[in-house]
Structure 1
Amino acid sequence: MKKYMILIIAMLLSWAGIYQSEAQSKSKRNYLVEIGKPDKLYSKILDEKRDIWVNLPESYKADGSRKYPVVYLLDGSVQFNSLATVYNNYWGNYLPDMILVGISNQTNRTRDLTTSKVETRRGAVYNNENGGAENFTQFIEKELIPYVDSKFATTSYRTLIGHSFGGLFTINALINHPHLFVNYIAIDPSLDWDNQKLLKQAKAKLQSESFKGKSLFVSLSAEQLHMQNAEITLENVMQDTTEFTLFARSIIDFSNFIETQKQNGLSFAWKSYPNDLHGTVPLPSMRDGLLFLFDWYQLESGQMFSNPETPLAELLVLVKKREEKLTQHFGYLTPPADEELFNMGGYMYMQFGQMKKSYAFFNMAIKYYPKSANAHDSMSEYYIAQNDVENAIKELTIAYEISGRDMYKQKIDKLKSE
C-alpha cells in the first residue's frame, strides 16, 4: 500500500468520504470494450449465440473468497454504458461492489422481451415476431445465470433492469418468476402491450401473493405524454381515453395500484421525469432506481469514525450493527465494509496515535478478509510501529504464504537483519 498517501487522505476525509473518493478515483473505464469485457455463449433454448458484457468490481480477485451480487441489464449493447456510469459514480458509499452483466437483445428484441403474442397493435397488423419472453426467461434462468455463476464469484442476490419492452419483461419476471431476482428496475415499461394483459395479471397477483423481500422501481418519461396534444400533462393524462396516452396511463395505473397494496410486502417506488423522453429516461432512472434499491446500504454515522473522540466500543457497535444489517438484506453473511476501508481506518487511527483503534481496524480487515495478503501486511506495519518485530514478521510471513510475492519476503529479511 502507498502508506503515506493513505495517511494524508485519511486525515483529511471522513470514513464515508474516503470510500466514495476511492471509488471515483478508480473509475478508469470509458467505452463498452473497456467498461464491459465482451463474451458470448451459445443458447440451446434460443438456438443462437448471445453476446454479453461483464464488468467486474475493482475489488474482484479470481482466487479470492469474496462473492458478489449481480446486476443483469437487458439491451446491454445500448444501455451498458449508462449503467456503468451510474455504478462508477455511486459505488462505495451508496452502492455495494457488484458484477454488472449486459445482455444483448439485438438479434430479435421484440421476440425476446414481449410477454404475449399479438397479431395487431395500435390498430394495424403487427408483423414482428413477438411473445417470446417466457422462452427468453428460460434462457436467463437455465443458461445465462448458470454460465455467469460458473465463471465468476457470484451470489444469488440479483437485480434485473429493463427499458421499454425490457421494462415489460422485468415486471413479468417479478410477477411470474420471482425466484430469479431480488430487485427490479422497470424503465418506461410497455405495460400497454396486448391490451394491458400483463398489467391485469399483475394486479391480480399483487393483491393475492406475497412479494416480501422484493424491491421494484418504475419510471415514466413524461416529456411527451401525447404525441399530438401538448396540453396533456401528468395532471390530466388519466382523463384521456385515446390510444396515444395508453402507454403512460398503463404505467401510472400500475404504479398507483401497487401503492394501495401494502399487504404484499413489495418495496416499491416510482418516479416521473417531466424533462425526459422515452429514449433519454434510462440514465436518470438507473441512478434513482439503484439508489432506491440500495438505500439501506449507505453508511450511517460516518462522522463518528473520523472523529478521534469517538470511543472504540461505540465504533465496534456500529460496525457490528452494519454487518447485521447488510447480512439481513443480502441474505448471507456480509462484511460490514470493504477491506481497504478497514485498512484506511487502521492507518488513520495510527496517525492519531490511537493504537487500540488502529489495531482493532487492522484486525477486522484480517477477520473479514483472511485471505488478503494486504490485510496482514498492514497489520505488520502496526506491529512495526509498536516495535514488535516478532509479530510483524509473523504477519508478513502469512502475507508471503498467501501471495508468494517477493516484496513480503524482502520485508521479512530486512526486519530479521536489523
Structure 2
Amino acid sequence: MKNYFLYNSIVFLFITSFQIISSQNNEIKLSITDSIYSETLNESKNIWVQLPENYNPESNEMYPVVYLLDGFSLRNNLETVYNNYLGHYLPDMILIGVSNSKNRMRDLTTSQIKMRRGAEMNKATGGADKFTQFIEKELIPYVDSKFHTTPYRTLIGHSYGGLFTVNILINHAHLFNNYIAIDPSLDWDNQKLLKQAKTKLSTESFKGKSLFVSLAAEQLHMWNEKVTIDNIMEDTSEFSLFGRSIIEFSNFAAAQKQNGLNFSWKVYPEDLHGTVPLPSMMDGMVFLFNWFQFKNPPKYNNPETSVEELEKLLNEQEKIYTENFGYAFPPMIEELFIGYGYMNMQMGDNKKAKLFFEKGVKYYPNSPNSYESMADYYESLEEYDKALKYANKAFEISGSDYHKERIETFKAKN
C-alpha cells in the first residue's frame, strides 16, 4: 500500500511539473470571449470558450465539446467540476458558455403562455425552436469552424435551460450525445413537454444518448414547508407542480428500458434551486462519462505489472474510448503517458518508461512535449544522438528557446 501511494505521488508531481512547463511555453490564448450575430434571432449572442491546456491550433488533435446554457452565470460551476475531474473521470474537452442574459425566457421556453402560477406573463415566451435553430445552424458550425472539435457534444441547462435541454433530447437528439437537465422547469405550460416526452420516450429509440436530471428538494413548495420529497406527489397545488413534474418525468424515463437511453437522476435534499447546479454538474458529468473512468489504475502504478500486461491494458482502454466516442481516441491523455514514463524512469524501469514515452509520441505526434520526454529518456541513458533527434523534433514543433537550448546541450555531449 505504501508503494501504491508513493508511485501515485510521483506521477502527480511529474504531471504537475509538466503542466507548469507547458503553460510557461504555451502562448496560445486558451480563454476566449466572443460574440456571434444570429440571423435567426436577429441579435448577437455572447459566448466564452475555454480550450484545453494542451490545445494547439497547429496540431490535428480534436476535442469533444460541452455547451453550457446560462454560460456566464454558471461558468465557475462547470470549470470547477471539469478541472477537478479532468484526466481520470473526464477527457480534455472544449467548454463553450452561451449567454442567455438577454431574452432568456423567450429563447429557453418551449411554448407560448399567457399565465404562470396565477400571474400574467409580460415577457415573450416559446422561442425554443428558433434558439435551437441558432444552436444547430449558427453556433455549432461557428465553433466547429474555429476550433478542433469532434461531433461528440454535451449540453447542460439549468431551470428554463433544463427545460430546453430536455426538449433538445426529445425533439432534436441528433445534436448532442449527452444531456444534463438541472432542476428543469418541466411544469411549463401545464407540463406540455413532459406529456410529449412520455410519448416519445415510450415509442422512439434513444440509443447512444445519455441524460442526467437533478431535483433541488430543500424547498419543494413555495409556501408550505410541510411538503417534502416524501409527500410531494400527494399535493395537487400549482406551487408544487415544479418538483412533481421532475419526479414524474424521471420515474417514467427510468422505466423505459427499451428505448436505449442511458438515464439517471438524483434528488438533492439540502439544495435550493440556486445552489443545485454545482453538485448536479459534478454528479452529471461523472455519470455521463462513467465509461471514461480509467480502468485498473493500480496496475499502472504497480512495479510488478509487466510491459506486456500494460500493452494489453492500454489496448483495452483505447477500445472502450473508441467505441463510446465513435472515433479513434487515445487510451490516455498525454500528461499521463509522460507522467507514467517519468515515474518508471525514476524507479529505474527503463522498459516501462520507454513504453509510455513511445506511446505518447504515437498518440500525440504533434506535441513537442512527447518528443521532449523521449529526449529526456535517452539523455538518462547517455544516448545523446537519439536525445538530439527527439529534441530537434520538439523544436520543429514548438520553435521555443527552451528546446533550442536542449539541442545545443545534446550537440555538446555528442
**Under TM normalisation by the shorter chain, which class is it?**
over 0.9
Unaligned 5+ runs, structure 2: 24-28
1:91 paired residue number: 86
TM-score, structure 1 normalization = 0.91
Asked if residue 211 in structure 1 is aligned to residue 209 in structure 2, the reply is: no
Could you say if the C-alpha distance between residues 275 and 36 of structure 1 is closer, same or farther in structure 2, counting changes exceeding 3 Å? farther
1:127 paired residue number: 122
1:120-171 per-position Cα deviation (integer Å, ceiling 9, x unaligned): 2223332210000000000011111111111111111111011111100000
1:114 paired residue number: 109
Could you say if the C-alpha distance between residues 384 and 23 of structure 1 is closer, same or farther in structure 2, counting changes exceeding 3 Å? closer
Could you say if the C-alpha distance between residues 24 and 42 of structure 1 is closer, same or farther in structure 2, counting changes exceeding 3 Å? same
Map 1:53-202 → 2, pairs under 5 A: 53-202=48-197
Q: 2:359 aligns with which of 360, 364, 367?
A: 364
Q: Which range moved further: 281-290 or 377-386?
A: 377-386
1:408 paired residue number: 403
1:302-344 per-position Cα deviation (integer Å, ceiling 9, x unaligned): 1111111111111111111111111111111011111121112
Contact 1:15 1:302 in 2 (8 A): no
Map 1:147-296 → 2, pairs under 5 A: 147-296=142-291
Q: RMSD of aligned C-alpha atoms? A: 2.3
Contact 1:35 1:84 in 2 (8 A): no
Contact 2:202 2:256 in 1 (8 A): yes
* Whole-Å separation in 2 of the counterparts to 1:186 and 1:284: 12
Asked if residue 396 in structure 1 is aligned to residue 384 in structure 2, the reply is: no
2:26 paired residue number: none
Could you say if the C-alpha distance between residues 127 and 405 of structure 1 is closer, same or farther in structure 2, counting changes exceeding 3 Å? closer
Letter in 2 for 1:255: S
1:81-128 per-position Cα deviation (integer Å, ceiling 9, x unaligned): 111111112212211111111111111111000001112222333221
Asked if residue 344 in structure 1 is aligned to residue 339 in structure 2, the reply is: yes
Cα deviation, residue 12, structure 1:
4.4
Could you say if the C-alpha distance between residues 59 and 224 of structure 1 is closer, same or farther in structure 2, counting changes exceeding 3 Å? same
Q: 1:323 aligns with which of 318, 321, 343?
A: 318
Contact 1:72 1:158 in 2 (8 A): yes
Cα deviation, residue 35, structure 1:
9.2
Say which SS state the counterpart of residue 100 (structure 1) adopts: strand
Asked if residue 46 in structure 1 is aligned to residue 46 in structure 2, the reply is: no
Unaligned 5+ runs, structure 1: 1-9, 29-33
Contact 2:183 2:246 in 1 (8 A): yes
Contact 1:19 1:341 in 2 (8 A): no
Letter in 2 for 1:72: Y
Cα deviation, residue 409, structure 1:
3.9
* Whole-Å separation in 2 of the counterparts to 1:365 and 1:20: 13
Could you say if the C-alpha distance between residues 382 and 36 of structure 1 is closer, same or farther in structure 2, counting changes exceeding 3 Å? closer
Aligned residues: 404
* Whole-Å separation in 1 of the counterparts to 2:31 and 2:385: 45
* Whole-Å separation in 1 of the counterparts to 2:166 and 2:226: 30
